[in-house]
């Protein structure tokens, strides 16, 4: 029996579960802990690997797909290494590509991956000179995982000093961080699968991290995404492969990483040159919500091929359409927001569109908000504009108190990714 458990509780995990369920059916796809909208969600403490193991044994699950980075960084792959249950993802050492910004930068440097110049620091005071030297035009990155709160993109000495103060307040004066050159351009996410020998890429996508229209306001976990990014030239694609993807694969092999999982390249394009900003060792959120509906292949088969080291036997096939995701959040997010508001309108969604739940819970048959990012609304269309129109049409059918969303998803004026 093919059965899988997905770890996580957001829109990404709903999209993953939905994709697995296409071939395995919902009764064989378990999500731990899941949310109010993912069928077959189970309340399991996912920080406790023994609890996950017991749940999987009791339900004859032999494959675990990990959504968020925390479980990978904490060593879930290592925990299950000699057990019958397979976990899809990198082990703790390889997960440092995301969990340690310094480790990742040193890896990029060692294997000639195109990236911004950087310096490593272990004490707040030591970075004062470079801030003056660069006029505060730089990026400061805390070394460890910080749920999106460890990266400061600065444009002035004051901003850079405030970033250092913030770091000091949270972690103390003796903290590992890096300072890197700021590259301004167009961001693109490229996500693929690896079996440690091959990397196969899904389509391109673009995330919208800031809260407000025009890319203003605080960073969030993602306010929307679309895929594919139109008009990425063949020349740029080849440069991305040559300067980022291939040297990364060479590094994974040379370091002998135990890495059978998802790899995410966060790329900045400037003057038609790609630079790697970061690796993630898992699917992006909300990118997953627009990537998986476009993927025609059976996800379970892809994962099995990765685990057996035969990813090269698979050719990915994609739908010919564009997909757009508008995220509905609770007013106040990413700071303080309220929960427990009734979500209306979910029964009226058109069959061509998809809804992936994030911060929701179901109580006595009623769907309630239960987090900052609440619902992902996915539209599909022959053009990006059509996909966006379709997504916003469905957004207008949904309502909960203090609901908020960006109105300009997919409308960014990219400078180098022209369309
Ligand atoms: N969308 C960015 C991330 O998942 O990290």
Mean pLDDT across 341-368 = 97
Distance (Å, whole) CA 113 – CA 243: 6
- Mean local confidence (pLDDT), 317-329: 98
Q: Report which DSSP code applies to 245.
A: I
Taking the CA of residue 222 as reference, the ligand 1 atom at the shortest distance is 1
Chain segment 251-267, per-residue pLDDT in tens: 999 999 999 999 999 99
Residue 280 CA, closest ligand 1 atom number: 5
**Dist CA 287 CA 205 (whole Å):** 6
What DSSP line would sit under 254-265, residue for residue? HTT--EEEEEEE
Q: Which residues pair with 327 in a beta bridge?
A: 376
Query: If you measure from the C-alpha of residue 283 to the centroid of ligand 1, how many angstroms do you get, rounded to a whole number?
Result: 8
Q: Which CATH number fits domain 123-175: 3.40.50.280, 3.30.950.10, 3.40.50.2300, 3.30.1490.20?
A: 3.30.1490.20
Pinpoint the residues of the chain covered by CATH 3.30.1490.20. 123-175
Is the per-residue pLDDT at 362 higher than 50?
yes
Confidence category of residue 299, pLDDT binned at 50, 70, 90? very high
pLDDT at 347 over 60: yes
**So what's the pLDDT on residue 219?**
87
Burial of 371 from C-beta contacts in 10 A (0-12 / 13-18 / 19+):
buried
Mean pLDDT of the chain: 96
Question: 344-361 in b/e burial notation, b at 16+ Cβ within 10 A?
Answer: eebeebeeebbbbbbbbb
Q: Over 50: is that where the pLDDT of 73 sits?
A: yes
Please list the helix, strand and coil fractions of the chain in percent, rounded to the nearest 5, in that order.
30, 30, 40
Q: How far is the CA of 286 from the centre of ligand 1 (A)?
A: 7
Span 296-316, average pLDDT: 97
CB 357 within 8 A of CB 316: no
Segments of the chain assigned to CATH 3.30.470.20: 186-313
Asked whether 176 and 143 are in contact (CB, 8 A), the reply is yes
How large is the average pLDDT for residues 94-118?
98
Q: From atom 2 of ligand 1, which residue's Cα is the shortest distance away?
A: 284
> Per-residue pLDDT for 418 more than 60?
no
Please choose from 98, 101, 284 the residue to mutate so as to test ligand 1's pocket, defined by most ligand atoms within 8 A of CB.
284
From the CA of 222, how far away is ligand 1's center (Å)?
A: 7
Q: Output the CA angle 22-26-28, nearest 5 degrees.
A: 105
Q: Which ranges of 232-373 would DSSP assign to H, the alpha helix? A: 234-240, 246-254, 287-291, 299-307
Task: Please tell me the predicted confidence (pLDDT) of residue 150.
Answer: 86
pTM, entire model: 0.96
For residue 99, report the distance from its CA to the centre of ligand 1, in Å.
13
d(CA 393, CA 411): 16
Distance CA 30, CA 208 (A): 29
Tokens of 156: 């002035």
For 393, list phi and psi in degrees, rounded to 5.
-60, -40
Whole-number pLDDT of residue 419: 41
Cα end-to-end distance, the chain, whole Å: 46
Element (H, E) at 114: none
Task: State yes or no: pLDDT of 173 exceeds 60.
Answer: yes
Q: Which DSSP symbol is given to 312?
A: G
Whether the per-residue pLDDT at 382 is higher than 90: the answer is yes
Using the mean position of ligand 1's atoms as its centre, give its distance from the Cα of residue 133 in Å: 31
Percent of the chain past pLDDT 70, that is, above it, reads 100
**Rounded distance between C-alpha atoms, residue 238 and residue 380, angstroms:** 28
322-404 — its CATH code? Answer: 3.90.600.10
Ligand 1 centroid, distance to 285 Cα (angstroms)? 5
Confidence bin at 383 (pLDDT 50/70/90): very high
Is 149 a residue whose pLDDT tops 80? no
Dist. CA 98 → ligand 1 center (Å): 11
Going by C-alpha positions, the residue among 184, 175, 182, 199 that lies closest to residue 102 is 175
Domain with CATH 3.90.600.10 in the chain: 322-404
Residue with tokens 């996950």: 52
Q: DSSP string spanning 385-418? A: HHHHHHHHHHHTT-B-TTEE--S-TT----SSS-
Helix (H) or strand (E) segment spanning residue 316? none
Q: Return the CATH architecture of domain 4-88.
A: 3-Layer(aba) Sandwich (3.40)
Phi, psi (deg, nearest 5) at residue 12 = -60, -45
- Which tokens in the block code for residue 21? 């369920």
Which of 13, 187, 266, 282 should be mutated for ligand 1, with most atoms under 8 A from CB? Answer: 266
Which atom of ligand 1 is nearest to 284's Cα? 4
Q: How far apart are CA 263 and CA 282, in angstroms?
A: 6
What's the whole-number mean pLDDT along residues 220-240?
A: 93
Q: Whose CA is nearest to atom 5 of ligand 1?
A: 284
Q: What is the average per-residue pLDDT within 272-296?
A: 97
**Cis check: omega of the bond before 319, within 30 degrees of 0:** no
Ligand 1 cavity residues, CB under 6 Å: 207, 222, 280, 284-285, 287
Is the pLDDT assigned to residue 89 strictly greater than 70?
Answer: yes
What is 186-313's CATH number? 3.30.470.20
Is residue 273's pLDDT more than 60?
yes
Closest C-alpha to ligand 1, atom 3: 284
Residue 52: in which H helix or E strand, if any?
helix 49-58
Which whole number is the average pLDDT over 332-343? 96
Query: How many angstroms does the Cα of residue 16 sit away from the middle of ligand 1?
Result: 15
Average pLDDT over residues 18-28: 97
Hey, CA dihedral for 271, 272, 275, 278, is it positive or negative? Answer: positive
């Amino acid at each position: 029996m093919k059965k899988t458990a997905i770890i996580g509780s957001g829109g990404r995990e709903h999209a993953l579960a939905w994709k697995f369920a296409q071939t395995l059916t919902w009764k064989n796809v378990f999500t731990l802990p899941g949310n109010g909208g993912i069928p077959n969600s189970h309340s399991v403490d996912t920080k406790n690997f023994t609890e996950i193991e017991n749940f999987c044994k009791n339900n004859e699950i032999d494959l675990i797909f990990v959504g968020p980075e925390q479980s990978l960084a904490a060593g879930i792959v290592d925990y299950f290494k000699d057990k019958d249950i397979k976990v899809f993802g990198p082990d703790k050492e390889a997960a440092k590509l995301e969990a340690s910004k310094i480790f990742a930068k040193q890896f990029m440097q060692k294997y000639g991956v195109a990236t911004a110049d950087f310096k490593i620091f272990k004490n707040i005071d030591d970075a004062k000179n470079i801030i003056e030297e660069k006029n505060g035009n730089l990026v400061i990155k805390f070394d460890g995982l910080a749920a999106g709160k460890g990266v400061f993109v600065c444009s002035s000495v004051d901003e850079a000093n405030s970033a250092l103060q913030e770091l000091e307040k949270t972690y103390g004066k003796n903290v590992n961080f890096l300072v890197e050159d700021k590259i301004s351009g167009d961001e693109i996410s490229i996500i693929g699968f690896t079996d440690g020998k091959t990397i196969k890429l899904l389509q391109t996508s673009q995330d919208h991290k800031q809260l407000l229209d025009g890319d203003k306001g605080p960073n969030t976990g993602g306010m929307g995404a679309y895929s594919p990014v139109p008009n990425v030239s063949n020349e740029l694609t080849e440069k991305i492969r040559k300067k980022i993807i291939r040297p990364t694969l060479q590094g994974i092999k040379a370091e002998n990483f135990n890495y059978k999982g998802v790899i995410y390249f966060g790329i900045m394009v400037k003057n038609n040159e790609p630079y790697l900003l970061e690796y993630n060792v898992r699917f992006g959120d909300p990118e997953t919500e627009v990537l998986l509906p476009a993927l025609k292949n059976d996800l379970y088969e892809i994962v099995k091929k990765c685990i057996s080291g035969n990813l090269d036997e698979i050719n990915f096939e994609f739908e010919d359409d564009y997909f757009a995701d508008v995220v509905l959040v609770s007013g106040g997010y990413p700071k303080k927001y309220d929960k427990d508001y009734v979500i209306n309108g979910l029964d009226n969604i058109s069959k061509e569109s998809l809804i992936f739940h994030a911060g929701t819970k179901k109580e006595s048959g009623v769907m309630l908000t239960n987090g900052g990012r609440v619902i992902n609304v996915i539209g599909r269309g022959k053009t990006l504009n059509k996909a966006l129109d379709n997504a916003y049409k469905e957004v207008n059918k949904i309502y909960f108190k203090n609901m908020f969303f960006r109105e300009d998803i997919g409308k960014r004026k990219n400078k180098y990714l022209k369309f």
